[in-house]
Structure 1
Amino acid sequence: MNKSTILVTGGSGYLGSWVVKGLLEKGYTVRIAVRDKNNTKKVSHLHDIAANAKGNIELWEADLLKEGSFDAAAKGCETIYHMASPFMLDVKNPQKDLVDPALIGTRNVLNAATRSETVTRVVLTSSVVAIMGDNTDLQERGVDALDERFFNESSSLTHQPYSYSKVLAEKEAWKMEKEQEQWKLVVLNPSFVMGPTLTPSTDSESLNFMKQFLGGQMFMAPDLTFGWVDVRDVAKAHILAGENQEAEGRHLLAENTYTVLQVGSILRKVFGKKYLLPKYQAPKFMLYLTGWMFGLSTTYVKKNVGIPLKLNNTKSLTLGLTYTPIEKTMTDMVNQMETLQLIK
């Protein structure tokens, strides 16, 4: 068994690429689980990173929905980072497109960890939406800020199905951890992940949001408050959670919470009038009438628009994490998008 070998699912994605980069720079041998090893386009950027790093990468084929397909890749690994789970907000079949890959995929990866006989730690990428479903959860819980004590109980297949998929998958992971004694589970719950990308793919929800934001599609900002966090900080948290043997439980990752309008103001200070950033906040009644154009249901508008949100990130600091200010996160992201000509 090679103690320095790590398996990463979702390693070619927006967040996963940063995690793989960090692991390679530390000298690990990183096994990346992909559906098709011959699709070099998705992993060519990781080979480039590995060429200038101390570690090595290996490609292993696996399918989230296929029982046993991760077994070979997990054998001989000490740690698994399970990040592969679809992040799509506009889906026609939420059970097939979101819940099944998240839930069945988690079962398959964690069963492979148990069958490996070598894996001692699993780091799972969950989400803040496994903690909360709507901003009204803060009021309903009767607390000043939401933290790792809470699980999302308000999402379903018909209301916020992505959030529903994440809470189901995380609960299943905790259930499976209790049923065995070989490996320890550590969970990370990032809020809205933003920042520069390493992958040539341009279809991440984070990049799509920024394109719409800069392009004037939110000329009047909805009064929505989110937690925001830098992708590089989330990647660092993953590596710290994997290496620190004292790390345990869940970790909510957020630099802070901001409204969409506040983020627009931050970007305007840097880029001036270069982009059609929102200057005004849309009244809630307007979103009841027009929200469907942006994929916002009346239930979502009722439970989130104009509702404040506070998140407590204190536990994540015990990992040794220091958060990047949102100004730097957003500026770095836009500057890179300009360089890559991703902004029209």
Structure 2
Amino acid sequence: MSVKIDPTKPVFVTGASGYVAGWIIRYLLEDGYTVRGTVRNPEKASGLDHLRALAEAHPGRLTLHKADLLDEGSYAEAMAGCELVIHTASPFLLGRVKDPEAQLVRPALEGTRNVLGSVNATPSVKRVVLTSSVVAIHGDNVDMKGRGAFTEEDWNTTSSVDHQPYPYSKTVAEKAAWELAEAQDRWDMVTIHPGLVLGPALTTASKSGSMTTMKSFVDYSLATGAPDLAMGMVDVRDVARAHIAAGFTPEAHGRYITNARTVTMLDIGRALRKRFGRSYPFPYTLVPKAMFRLVAPVAGFSREFVDKNVGWPLAFDNSRSVAELGLDYRPFEETVGDHFQQMIDDGVAHKPWF
């Protein structure tokens, strides 16, 4: 199915205040498009400054609209007249979560159903680009056993609300989305599957788990060493470009792994030390798996997570995103370096002592 989006029609972006969405909106505006973004409260005093600055820099081409993932029908009015919907809104929390059903699964699942319910009720919509994740493709690194690399054909079958609740939330939300997409033939859907998204944010108000990950390089939690934990990683700017390419490439279809490479926390630490020197508590060594397993619950990880993820290799095949969406991924050293530099600029990390 080939879908041509009218470039003069506004693009609808959910979760506009989010980490990835901010870059999507910035690039859309710089490319000349008009954008309607949804946020919980457009009048909020803080957290939306970057969006207001973008609106000021591109007069008349960015408007913010009130909508909530769990408020059925709240997207419909602002969506009217849009041909492309980019749905990014979904919570990303790492570590210990008090109520995963309420904090992760319900917002992801019901939110996706609500947004797509509005899509079904909006005749102008032709395509939906949904932010999924590589964690909807695999749950634990041990799932790699017996295979070369994960592809778009794979699904996470091992996560649950009790084990790996965030991957579970992304998986059930995407499955529900495909069910809704396949139940009709007016609009099509493309899903984007990033690994851990890092790189500079347009706002300091982001609560993304990506920020939590990078803060561990300055809070001394990795000073004595890092676990041997491999994960997919990609630059936030490349993820934003992937969403836009998926929306405006007529032949784009199905799922796209948008993962630059696989890294460990030790890899990130080495790259940061090379650029910023030795005045930060970047990890030098690997923590033995048995030792990490012992202290894992204190750090917010289950021992089951350690058993199934630490020490296991991980690989993804991103060839579809390169060939069909034209992505040219940034080097990971640039991604983590730019991210950490922003942490210094924002006062989250101290300036180098030497």
- The TM-score with structure 2 as length reference comes to 0.94
Query: Equivalents in 2 of 1:261, 1:278: separation in Å?
Result: 6
The amino acid across from 2:279 in the alignment is: K
Q: Deviations over 1:200-253 (max 9, x none)?
A: 315332122111113321121001001110000000101111110111110111
Query: Equivalents in 2 of 1:50, 1:70: separation in Å?
Result: 20
The SS at the match of 2:153 is: coil
Query: For residues 235 and 55 of structure 1, do their structure 2 counterparts lie closer, same or farther at Cα, with a shift above 3 Å needed?
Result: farther
1:226 aligned onto 2:231: yes
1:315 aligned onto 2:337: no
Aligned to 2:126: 120
The SS at the match of 2:41 is: coil
The SS at the match of 1:33 is: strand
Indicate conservation of the 8 Å contact 2:55/2:63, yes or no. no
Equivalent position to 1:146, from 147, 150, 169: 150
Identical counterparts, % of pairs: 46
Indicate conservation of the 8 Å contact 1:30/1:55, yes or no. no
Indicate conservation of the 8 Å contact 1:7/1:80, yes or no. yes
The amino acid across from 1:280 in the alignment is: T
The 5 A counterparts of 1:257-272 are 257-272=262-277
Indicate conservation of the 8 Å contact 1:136/1:304, yes or no. yes
Q: Deviations over 1:118-154 (max 9, x none)?
A: 0000000001100000001111xx3100111111001
Equivalent position to 2:345, from 330, 339, 344: 339
The amino acid across from 1:208 in the alignment is: T
Q: CA deviation at 1:43?
A: 2.2
The SS at the match of 1:8 is: strand
Query: For residues 328 and 55 of structure 1, do their structure 2 counterparts lie closer, same or farther at Cα, with a shift above 3 Å needed?
Result: farther
The amino acid across from 1:324 in the alignment is: R
The amino acid across from 2:328 in the alignment is: T
Q: CA deviation at 1:81?
A: 0.5
Query: Equivalents in 2 of 1:207, 1:175: separation in Å?
Result: 32
Indicate conservation of the 8 Å contact 2:90/2:108, yes or no. yes
Query: For residues 40 and 6 of structure 1, do their structure 2 counterparts lie closer, same or farther at Cα, with a shift above 3 Å needed?
Result: farther
Query: Equivalents in 2 of 1:114, 1:93: separation in Å?
Result: 31
Indicate conservation of the 8 Å contact 2:141/2:314, yes or no. yes
Indicate conservation of the 8 Å contact 2:8/2:34, yes or no. no
1:177 aligned onto 2:177: no
1:32 aligned onto 2:37: yes
Q: CA deviation at 1:3?
A: 4.6
Aligned to 2:25: 20
Query: Equivalents in 2 of 1:161, 1:149: separation in Å?
Result: 21
Runs of 4+ in 1 over 3 A off after TM superposition: none
Q: CA deviation at 1:58?
A: 1.2
Cα RMSD over matched residues?
Answer: 1.5
Query: Equivalents in 2 of 1:240, 1:40: separation in Å?
Result: 33
Q: CA deviation at 1:50?
A: 2.8
Equivalent position to 2:331, from 312, 325, 332: 325
Aligned to 1:94: 100
Which structure 1 segments of 5+ residues have no match?
none
Aligned to 1:58: 63
Query: Equivalents in 1 of 2:23, 2:45: separation in Å?
Result: 18
Query: Equivalents in 1 of 2:141, 2:309: separation in Å?
Result: 5
The SS at the match of 2:282 is: coil
More displaced, 60-69 or 325-334? 60-69
Equivalent position to 2:251, from 246, 264, 267: 246
Aligned to 2:11: 6
Q: CA deviation at 1:2?
A: 8.8
Query: Equivalents in 1 of 2:293, 2:66: separation in Å?
Result: 46
Indicate conservation of the 8 Å contact 1:133/1:155, yes or no. yes
The SS at the match of 2:217 is: helix
Query: Equivalents in 2 of 1:181, 1:272: separation in Å?
Result: 55
The SS at the match of 1:31 is: strand
Indicate conservation of the 8 Å contact 1:45/1:200, yes or no. no
Which structure 2 segments of 5+ residues have no match?
1-5
Query: Equivalents in 2 of 1:123, 1:254: separation in Å?
Result: 17
Indicate conservation of the 8 Å contact 1:7/1:81, yes or no. yes
Aligned to 1:81: 86
Q: CA deviation at 1:28?
A: 1.7
The SS at the match of 1:23 is: helix
Size of the alignment, in residue pairs? 342
Query: Equivalents in 2 of 1:282, 1:42: separation in Å?
Result: 37
Query: Equivalents in 2 of 1:231, 1:172: separation in Å?
Result: 25
